[in-house]
Chains A and B, each alone.
Chain A
Amino acid sequence: MAVKIDDKIIEYVGILAKLNLSEEEKKKAGEDMSRMLEYIDKLNELDTRGTAPMTHIFDISNVFREDEITNGDQSGEMLSNAPRQKDKQYQVPRTVE
Chain B
Amino acid sequence: MGLLELTALELGKQIKEKKVSVKEAVEASFSRIRESEETVHAFITLEEEKALKNAEEVQARIDAGVLSGPLAGVPMAVKDNICTEGMKTTCGSRILYNFVPAYSAQAVTNLKKAGAVIVGKTNMDEFAMGSTTETSWFGPTANPWNKKHVPGGSSGGSCAAVASGEVFYALGSDTGGSIRQPSSFCGVTGIKPTYGTVSRYGLIAYGSSLDQIGPVARDTADCAAVLEILASHDKKDSTSVPRKDYNFTEALTGEAKGMKIGIPSDYLGEGLDDEIRTAVLQGAELLKFQGAEVEFFDLGMVEYAIPAYYVIASAEASSNLSRFDGVKYGYRTGEYEDLHEMYKKSRSEGFGTEVKRRIMLGSFVLSSGYYDAYYLKALRTKALIKQAFDRAFEKYDIILGPAAPSTAPAMGESLCDPLKMYLGDIYTVSVNLAGLPGISVPCKTDEKGLPIGLQMLADCFEEKKLFRAASAYEKARGRWELPISGCRPDKEGK
Which residues from chain A sit less than 8 Å from chain B, CB to CB?
Answer: 1, 3, 9-10, 12-14, 16-21, 25, 29, 32-33, 35-37, 39-46, 48, 51-58, 60, 62-63, 65, 71, 74, 77-78, 80-84, 90, 92-95
Complex CA–CA separation, A53 to B375 (angstroms): 9
Partner of A51, one of B239, B303, B304, B383: B383
Q: Cα distance A26–B351 when bound, in Å?
A: 15
22 CB contacts below 8 A, A to B, read: A17-B359, A17-B363, A18-B325, A18-B343, A19-B344, A19-B356, A36-B310, A40-B307, A40-B311, A43-B381, A51-B384, A54-B383, A58-B460, A60-B239, A63-B238, A80-B100, A81-B100, A81-B328, A81-B329, A82-B327, A83-B329, A90-B327
B307 pairs with A20, CB closer than 8 A: no
CB proximity of A20 to chain B, nearest CB, Å? 4
Assuming the A-B contacts A43-B378, A93-B337, are A19 and B384 also in contact, with contact meaning beta carbons closer than 8 angstroms in the complex? no
Interchain CB contact under 8 A, A46 and B364? no
Q: Shortest CB–CB separation between residue A97 and chain B, in angstroms?
A: 11
Query: Number of residues in B with C-beta < 8 Å to the partner?
Result: 68
**Is B435 among interface residues, defined by CB-CB distance under 8 A?**
yes
Q: Assess the A48–B377 pair: CB atoms within 8 A.
A: yes
Contacts of A16 in B (CB 8 A): 318, 363-364, 367
Flag whether B6 is at the interface (Cβ < 8 A). Answer: no
B235 contacts across to A, CB distance below 8 A: 65
Give B contacts to A, CB under 8 Å.
Answer: 98-100, 102-103, 195-196, 209, 235, 238-239, 241, 303-304, 306-308, 310-311, 318, 322, 325-332, 336-340, 342-345, 347-348, 351, 356-357, 359-364, 367, 370, 373-374, 376-384, 386, 418-419, 434-435, 460
Instruction: How many A-B residue pairs have C-beta atoms within 8 angstroms? Tell me.
Output: 159
Q: Is the CB of B328 within 8 A of A51?
A: no
A18 close to B347 (CB less than 8 A): yes
Cβ–Cβ < 8 Å partners of B318 in chain A: 16-17
Question: Are A93 and B336 in contact (CB-based, < 8 A)?
Answer: yes
Task: Give B174 Cβ to nearest chain A Cβ, in Å.
Answer: 15
Taking CB atoms, residues of chain A closer than 8 Å to B359 are 17, 19
B364 to A1, Cβ gap below 8 A?
A: no
A40 in contact with B339 given A17-B359, A81-B99 (CB within 8 Å):
no
Measured between beta carbons, the chain A residues less than 8 angstroms from B306 are 39
From known contacts A36-B419, A48-B384, A92-B339, infer whether A18 and B322 are also in contact, taking CB-CB under 8 Å.
Answer: yes
Q: Please, how many angstroms separate the alpha-carbon atoms of A45 and B338 in the complex?
A: 47
Task: Kindly identify which residue among A13, A71, A84 contacts B332, using a CB–CB cutoff of 8 Å.
Answer: A84
